Amino acid sequence: MTVRPFAGATNTTFTATLANGYMTFDVLVGRVTVNFPASITNIAPGRYVYDLVLTTGATVTRILEGQFTVTPGVTV
């Protein structure tokens, strides 16, 4: 899973992969779980886009994509 500030951006806000441990894949039930620690998700307010792709050999399949908005906190 890759998060970027906008579609087409060359910089990455954060990434989840099996290799970095932020993503797990349960093949028995077909479930992908993504977990980011708070230290990574402390990002500037704004709109971000993401996609989740699965790669098998030379085949890359996008299974999820979307956008989200981070709003600044009010309570300290």
The pLDDT tens digits of the residues spanning 24-73 come to 999 899 899 999 888 888 889 999 999 999 888 999 999 999 999 999 88
pLDDT at residue 37, as a whole number: 87
Which of 62, 43, 59, 58 shows the shortest CA–CA distance to 2?
A: 62
* Helices (H), ranges, 1-76: 38-41
Structure-token match 């971000």, residue found: 48
CA distances to 17, 33, 34, 37, 56 from 29, rounded to whole Å, are: 19, 12, 15, 24, 18
Looking at residue 2, what is its pLDDT?
Answer: 94
